[in-house]
Structure formats: C-alpha cells, structure tokens
Structure 1
C-alpha cells in the first residue's frame, strides 16, 4: 500500500488580503467604510489625528536618530515638544480670546457710532429700515382680529415662570468637569497613539503591505517608504509654512493696529488647512475689528489689502516653490473632499479634509486596485496627451487641439510634438477605423480638425535652443525649390495626414515640399521621395507597390520610407517596416520610424550636417500642400 503524505501547505504570498476583487465588492466596501467613518467618529477622529501628527513628527524623530539618540527617547522628546507647543499656543490663544471678550462692549459702541454716521450721511439705512417696518405693519393690519366668544374677547394667557433650584456642589463640579473631560481624554488618547505609531512604525508598515497586497516585496516596500516619506515631508512643510504665515499675519495686524493680533494670526495659520473658505473665515474677524477700532476706513482698507496680497503670494508663489506644482489634488476634488469630510466629522473633518485626501491620492498612486482614487482626486490629467488629442479631434474641437499644441510646443520642437502626441492619436483613430468603430461623420470631423491644426501650426515657432549650441547649417539653395522633396501618402485612412505633418516638419527646416501622388513624370523631378505610412493602415503589399510605382515614375531619385509605429521601432519592427526593409535590399532605401528620424535622413540626403531645430519657421512653398494626386511643379 503506497504511503500517503499530507499535501504541502501552499506558499504564503503577498497577494491582496484586504482589497476587494470586483467592482461590486469595491462599492460595497466603500459604503461600509463610509458608514464606519460616520458612526465611529468618536473612535476614529483621535486615530486620524494621531496618524497625521505622527507624519508631522516622523522627520523630527529621524533627525534625532541621526545624532545617535535611542528610538524611544527620540519619540518621547518629539511628542513632548509637540505637546508643549500645542498647549502653549492653546493657553496663549485662550488669554487673547478673554481679552477680546472684555473689550467687546467698547467695540460695539464704536461700530454703533460708525453706523450712525452712515445714517446721517446718506440716510439710506433709515429708508431701508422704514421700508421694512412699513411692510411689517401692512402684514400685521391684514391679520384677523382677536376671536370673540359669547360677545367678549378672549383674555390673554397668564405668564408662568419656572425657576430651577440652585445646583449642589456636586452638580456644579459635574457641569464644570464634563466639558473638560472629553477633550482631555481625546488629547491623552492621541498622545498615546502617536507614541506607539512612531515606536512601531516598521511593524505597521509591514501590516499595511500585507493589506494593500503586492507580489513583489521589494517594490511594495519601496513604494510604502516613498509614500510615507513624501507625506511626512508634505505635512511637516505645510505645518511649518502655515505657522510662518500665521506669525506674519500677526505681525502685520499688530503694525496696522488690530487688537489681539496673535489670536488672528493663529486663526490665519489654522485656516490655511481649510481649502477655499478658510480665507473668508480668517478675514472676517480682523475686518470687524477694523470697523470697531478705527472711526475712519483706513484700517479696514489696510486689512483687506494685507489678506488679498498675502493669500495671492502664498497660493501662487510660496506654495508652488515648496510643494512643486500643487498638493496633487484637483480643485474639484478639494471642494468635494471638504464637503464630504465636513459632513462626516464636522469642523474637525473640515480641517482634516486636505491631509486625508492627500493620503488617499498617495494610496491610489501606489496600490493598483485603488488607482481610481488618484484618477478621481488627483490633479494628473485623466487621459494621456494622445488620448486627449483623439477625443478633441473626434469632437471637432480644433480650438482645444490648438491650445494643447501651444502648450506642448513651448518646450519641444514640432517634430517631437507630432511624434509624441498627434501621430499616436492618429494611430488610435486608425485602429478604430480598421475595426469599424469609427463612424463616417466622426472621421470627417477628425480630418477637418487635424487639417485646421496643421494650418495653425504653420504660425508656431520652435522653442529657442540653449545658449552655446552650434548654429544650424542652412539647406542648399537647390533644396528650397518647391517640390524638391515629394511626400507620398500611403493608402491607409490617415496616411495623408501623416504626409502633411512630415511635409510641415521638412518645410520648417527649409525644404521645398510637395505633398501628393505621382500622376506623371514631372519636368523637373524631385530630389527626394518620402513615402509616409502609419503602421496598421496600409498592407505590406500596398506599401511595396507604392514604393515600386514611385521608383518607376521617378528613376534614380533616392527614397525614404516613414513607417511610423507606436514604439518608434524601439522593440521590434512592424509589418510595414519588415516589408520595406526587404524591399530596400533590391534598391537603396532608408527607413525612418518617426518624423524626427525622417527629418535627419532628409537633412543628410541634402548634404547638410544635422543641427538643432530652427527657432523660427522657414517660409512655406507658395502652393500649399494638398491631399491626393498632385503633380510635382516643373
């Protein structure tokens, strides 16, 4: 009898353990998470505050660890320092708020006198209040008279007052202690959680790796470390920058003469965490005090100018310098996040909206199953440039295509833009056309939009090359003659557009270009033939036939074949490229995989050394290139 052995245990991988597998499961999980966040607010708010505070303190702990301080001591010192700063600021703000409350009666008197001055100056407030009172009297006069019972009016009810007994000492102690115990308990829980999160950071990271799931341990750990490091730097930089902004506002308000400037500086720094509406909350207090402390209007104007300039500088200059382009969130995502977290957790959620949403975007960037979070909330374009080009062209939006081209041409030459954006978009359109997914009206709109774009690109200039580059050699005069280079389109659905794009690139370099077919042998044959094909459009037999036909009509003229493919020939040749290479064995033929290569081959054929692209477009031929059969000029 054969010996039976137990089956070996399956190896424990790093597949996703906590991520749902299907879209329905993800939706159910999202609804469950929202319900847990809503009903578990008392438990989750301290945890979230502790995690964010741990992100802020993690760089401080790393700094202390560099001076060979033990981890436990570094964590305790960092937490105690943060607690001292927070409680010190809280005590200072409490004294400032008490002073403000004591001075409120005098501020009310000043505001009343200013309103009286407005009434005596224009009288429009009196007229407005009089109109409101008149409307009220008119509504009251139409009310029904008091009901009469048996000929006598009903007597009004007798007022009754209820007096509660004086509280006992125990009740008084409970009323004082209850409002304080909740915040103190929350603060204590946050401090303990921060200490343990900083102490056991690596263990928590490993558990998150297991939950997030990845089959490559090294890459997953690198992604987690990168995300944690970036978030720590971001939160620490944002906290420090908001603190400096608050100090600046406090100093400026003190110079202007606003009472309690430290209080309003603290509010300004805190409200920097609140998107969009934070500035309005910040400016409301100083504006009211400017009305109260100054009988004139100069203080109010200075306050408005201060906040207007400071917010503009912070949003447009300082933050882009510190964080780069932005925080990584789209404006719509910021508004949606502020609304969502405020609905969930109230004012605390409003303060934590941006940090929490940044965490979600980073999570979506590193976890494949949660990539939709980055797409929905991040500021990266949802479509690739070539997909955006294709979508705008299908919609017939030539203005949007021109705007995209203008942005791209600021830092790259025309050939690179067409190779990276326009031709890949045509490749997408060609794939849809081959499979019958492109309706005729959509195809016509795409052709018109791209043709208009090609016309608009004639006015664009290439970016200025860096200083020190070798000047570009001019093309020989014989190659400036219109028709010196003949661009022949293939028979694919969009090969004619590719030929026009190549013709525009060559014309910008200084070549005389003719785009069209060969109907008869011209009197003055061209100096170079460029056959333009998009991989997947024409068949290999058609490409060979077009090349042989051009050689029969124009014997002895050198030829270049542009067989554009998505990978640019980086990995392997496509079907057209292989067929054309085989055709080049019988007669000389140079093969280019993109427009930049075709331009270099044309420059080489003209006997000119390759050089950087011109900073200004060269003059076009008098006759614009046409699509279809057109004889070369004599």
Structure 2
C-alpha cells in the first residue's frame, strides 16, 4: 500500500506536458489558414466597401509624388490635391462621354461584326460543316422533345434598362467615393505617418516604422505613377498608329490598350484579339489587315521589354506565375476592376515584404529574379 501511495503521489506531482514545437506550428498554421479564409470571405462579400477604399488608396499613392513635388515648390497639399483630383475627374468624365458613343455602337454592331467575320473567314468554315450539321440535328431533337409536352419554365429577368441604370448608379457611387477619399488622403499629408509613429513607444521602433512606411510609400508611388505614364504613352502611340492605318475609332482602342496594359500578358492579348477582328472586317485586303496586329505586337514588345524595364528598373519586376495567379484571384474576387488592380496590389505586397526580414521569402518568391541569392 505504501508503494502504491508513493506512486500516486509521484503521478500527481508530475507537471502537465508542454506542447512541442510541432503542435505549436500546427496551431499557428491553422490560425493563419482560418485568418486567410476569413479575409477572403470579407473581401468577397464586402467588395462594395473594400473596392472603392483600395482604389482610393492606389489612386492617392499614384498622385502622391506630384503632391510632394508641389509642396516643395510652396503649394499646400490640400490645394494641389484638390486640383489633381478635380482634373482627374474631369478627364475621366470627358473621356467617358467621348467614348460612350463608340462603345455603344460597337455593342450594337456585335451581331453584324460576327456575320462579317464569318464571311471573311469562309475558308475556315469547311471543316466545321459536319459539326454544324450535328448541332442542328441535336437542336431539332431537342425541339421535338419540347413539343411533346415538356413544360417550359422561363424566369423573367429585369429589363436591360433597369440593369444598366443599376450598374451606372453603382459605378457612379464607387467613383465618387474613390475621388473623395483620395482627396482626403492626399490633403492629409503626413497625418497617417504621425499616427503610425505614435502607436510605438520606443524611439528605435518609431524610427524604424517611419523609415519603412516612407520607403514603401516612395517606391510604390513612383512605380504606380511611372507605370500609369507609360501606359498612357502606349495608348497614345497605339491610337495614333491605328489612326494612320485607317482603323475606325482609334481613340477607343488606345484607351483600351492603356487600361488593359495594367493586366500583363492577358490585357495585350485581349486588345490584339478585338482589334484584329475589327481590322479583318474593315479592310478588304487580309494582308493589310494584318498590319494592325503586327503594329500592336511591336508596340507591346517595345514597351514590355525595353521602355518599362529601363524606366522602372528590374527590382520591382514580378515573375509571370505570381502575376497570373494574382490576376486570376482578383478577377474572381472583384471582376474586371480586381483584374486591373491585381498587379499594383502585388507590387505593394512585394515592397512591403522586402522591408521585413520575416517576409523577405515572400518578396523573393514574387520577384522575377533571385534577389536574395544575388545579395548573398
């Protein structure tokens, strides 16, 4: 009995087992995964709130170098910010008004464009005749089955005008929020930086936080402004070149090329596909029509391989895999707007990760070159 009592006392005195490193890492991994899933869930269902906010921050970062330059010349930040935001709003409003007519005409002419393209490419229709005949037979069988008493259920959809009105109202609200929030962000100056510094207690932490914030803001702002200027120049060159070649509505294609150039690879391919179709149905000679996509290819190659790397530099160059994943993810999350801001957001994440030792592996993965190996 004494031995048993001693064993019981010994067991009671044993401390509880301490979680090992494996269990701690698994718990941290699970918490991180849950946080990422909840963040994606919030971004998806709260896109009407988060989308204009993120657009405003990116737009404000793009215009920040101009506001800083004006401040050094004695122009107060609220004044220069107001002038820039108002000028941007006027340019977008005028551009939207001028392009609304060609866009609506293009939408209305879509069936005719399809028929004209089919007639021009008649030599490609021969191999598809059998498939078309099979498709017609399937349609006839389906029509016969429906005529034998199958109940047809049609869900009435909202009218086109009501959908267009709703989309225009939503877009107008988003644009207004973006411009107003951008104005306040630009006019506030260093207010956010002061708040960030005040959240730390030690002077060393304050200096490090201020240095990181300024470095990230400076690099991202220069990148966004430089890329926006390059894309605008690319759109102007394409519009002028297509006007010389005799393409209809060259301004529309130039603006489309400038906007979609924020979408690497996919944007240029989309612009080239649409413009090539319009060129084929516009010009009588197929050889002359091919001058249009050739011109677009030359412009995009010069911009992507010479101009942008020379002006922006290689440090912020991203690898193709991360770009395509980001574009696919943000387009699924927020549609077309998400696809446009995918690469700028990826650059923001990369610059932020490069300034923290624990996140440098992520920044190295996003970069196009092995920066960490090169530094070693």
TM-score category, normalised to shorter length: 0.7 to 0.9
2: CA distance, partners of 1:22 / 1:374: 21
User: Where does the alignment leave 5 or more consecutive residues of structure 1 unmatched?
Assistant: 1-20, 119-123, 148-153, 388-634
| CA distance 1:375–1:209, shift in 2 (3 Å) | farther
Cα offset, 1:63, TM superposition: 2.7
Root-mean-square deviation (Å): 3.7
Which of residues 31, 51, 54 in structure 1 aligns to 2:60?
Answer: 54
Note closer, same or farther for the CA distance 1:284–1:213 as it changes in structure 2 (3 Å cut).
farther
Residue of structure 2 equivalent to 1:255: 244
Q: How far 1:274 sits from its partner (Å)?
A: 0.4
Question: Is residue 64 from structure 1 mapped to residue 70 from structure 2 by the alignment?
Answer: yes
* 2:271 paired with 1:282: yes
- Aligned mate of 2:176, from 179, 188, 200: 188
**Partner deviation per Cα, 1:346-384 (whole Å, 9 max, x = no partner):** 211111110001001111112344334313323342753
What is the CA-CA distance between 1:386 and the residue it aligns to? 10
Query: Do residues 339 (structure 1) and 345 (structure 2) align?
Result: no
Shift, 1:316, TM fit? 1.0
Q: In the TM superposition, what is the alpha-carbon distance from 1:329 to its structure 2 partner?
A: 1.8
Is residue 34 of structure 1 aligned with residue 22 of structure 2? Answer: no
Query: What does residue 97 of structure 2 align with?
Result: 91
Q: Which moved more, 1:101-110 or 1:332-341?
A: 101-110
Instruction: Report how many residues are paired.
Output: 346
Q: Report if the CA contact (8 A) 2:275-2:293 is conserved.
A: no
TM (norm. structure 1) is 0.49
1:352 equivalent to 2:341? Answer: yes
- 1:560-585 CA distance string (max 9 Å, x none): xxxxxxxxxxxxxxxxxxxxxxxxxx
Q: The residue matched to 2:64 in structure 1 has which SS?
A: helix
Give the Cα–Cα distance (whole angstroms) in 2 for the partners of residues 211 and 26 of structure 1: 24
Q: Name the structure 2 match of 1:306.
A: 295
The CA deviation at 1:41 is 1.0
Deviation at 1:257, TM superposition (A): 1.4
Distance 1:341 1:287 in 2: 27
Shift in alpha-carbon separation, 1:347–1:108, aligned structure 2, 3 A: closer
Deviation at 1:110, TM superposition (A): 4.5
SS for the counterpart of 1:279 is helix
Distance 2:304 2:234 in 1: 12
State how far apart, in whole Å, the 2-side matches of 1:228 and 1:80 are.
23
**Contact in 2 for aligned 1:96/1:262 (Cα 8 Å):** no
Report the structure number with the largest CA radius of gyration: 1
Please identify which structure carries the higher helix content. Answer: 2
Q: Which residue of 1 aligns with 2:190?
A: 202
Cα shift readout 1:158-205 (whole Å, capped 9, x = no counterpart): 99999x9xx9xxx99977743332111111111111111112242222
Per the normalisation by structure 2, the TM-score is 0.79
Alpha carbons of 1:213 and 1:261: their partners in 2 closer, same or farther (altered >3 Å)? farther
Structure 2 residues without counterparts, runs of 5 or longer:
1-26
Change in Cα spacing, 1:33 to 1:125, as seen in structure 2 (3 Å) is: closer
What SS is found at the alignment partner of 1:234? helix
Partner of 1:522: none
What's the counterpart of residue 132 of structure 1? Answer: 131
Q: State the match for 1:367 in structure 2.
A: 356
